[in-house]
Structure 1
Amino acid sequence: MRRLTTVAVASVMALSAATPASAAEPSAAQGAWRPAPQASYDLPAGARCDFAVHTQPVVDEVRKLVLDTYPDGRPKRELYAGDLILEITNTQTGASTRADAGGTTMIDYHADGSMTWYAVGPVMAGFRAGGGTLPRGLYILDGVYTLDIAADGYKTVDMIQGSTRDLCADVA
């Protein structure tokens, strides 16, 4: 599995490095890079942190490229890349932190509704109580890793090389 993951991550790095800057511009052409904006959102107390949080992009230059589709046109494999800085705020105290979540990720969408992320660099992921290999919280996963998300939402992180940052602790 590690060899497969390493090859997939190397492919993500090669694809993102080989894309000229002009390819990042949105176009009507099939297979073109397109903006993939991150929406602001609120989570109630207990959903990810002990307190309610608001997450808002401060810098959002994320774009995606559809690499493969199912016969019905749904994406089968996509590549995401671009700068993303998020501000996470404890809505009870006003404490906030900024986090770089601008990693490069190739996502395989499986027919059963599950997905596998092959990532290099920082990505934010939330975990519900009992919902994965990390405790409930909001995390920045950074390094080289895979994130398997089962059809029921259970998340499994396989950190090949890297770290996790607990954003709930940063704004507690």
Structure 2
Amino acid sequence: MRFRMSVAVAAVVAVVVAALPGSATAAPDRHHGVGAWEPAPQAPFELPAGARCEFAVRVEPIVDEVRKLTLATYPDGAPKRELFTGALINRVTNLETGATSTADASGTSLVDYRTDGSMTWYVTGPVLLGFRENAGTLPKGLWIVDGQFRVEFSPTYDKTITMLHGTTHNVCTDVY
């Protein structure tokens, strides 16, 4: 598994370098639905008590400079592969006590979408992932996962993380 993950991380680096201005492969290909970087803002959201944390929680971006580059599309124009990168700092608020914390989710992710609704993220750096009870490789919570890893999402958004190296931290514990 180590070899496959290293290849995936190398692919992310190669895609980022190829997309830099001045690169011979950075030219937009409008015919296949790929093109320029575009903003990919995260909307704030609230979750009821027990959904991810034992209390109701709100997550809202306070810095959101995330952008995406569509690398490939399906014939209907839906994205097949996209690259996401940029600063993303979220404020996490316990809606019962008002306690807050910040969570840096400024990682870079290469995302492969499949037609059945599943997807795979190849990630370098931190991302914020929510886990439902018994719905993945981490317990229920809002987790900052940092390092180099792959996340497999099922069509129902169950998540399986395969770490090359890195750390996990449940942000719910920061605002308990």
TM-score by length of 2: 0.90
Per-residue CA distance 1:24-65 (angstroms, 9 max, x = gap): xxxx98311000000001000000000000101010000000
1:62 to 66, 70, 77: 66
2:161 to 132, 148, 157: 157
- Alignment check: 8 A CA contact 1:77 1:109 kept: yes
Paired residue secondary structure (2:136)? coil
Counterpart residue identity of residue 117, structure 1 = W
Aligned to 2:39: 35
Which whole-Å CA distance do the structure 2 matches of 1:117 and 1:144 have between them?
11
Q: How many residues align?
A: 168
2:76 to 65, 72, 78: 72
Which whole-Å CA distance do the structure 1 matches of 2:108 and 2:154 have between them?
21
Unaligned runs of at least 5 residues, structure 2:
none
Paired residue secondary structure (1:11)? helix
Counterpart residue identity of residue 149, structure 1 = F
CA RMSD between the two structures: 1.8
Aligned to 2:8: 8
Which whole-Å CA distance do the structure 2 matches of 1:7 and 1:110 have between them?
20
Unaligned runs of at least 5 residues, structure 1:
none
Q: 1:72-151 alignment to 2 at 5 Å?
A: 72-151=76-155
Residue 21 of structure 1 deviates from its aligned partner by: 6.4
Counterpart residue identity of residue 3, structure 2 = R
- Alignment check: 8 A CA contact 1:141 1:162 kept: yes
TM-score by length of 1: 0.92
Paired residue secondary structure (2:55)? coil
Per-residue CA distance 1:60-93 (angstroms, 9 max, x = gap): 0000000111111110000000000000000111
Residue 15 of structure 1 deviates from its aligned partner by: 2.3
- Alignment check: 8 A CA contact 1:16 1:81 kept: no
Which whole-Å CA distance do the structure 2 matches of 1:164 and 1:108 have between them?
23
Paired residue secondary structure (2:16)? helix
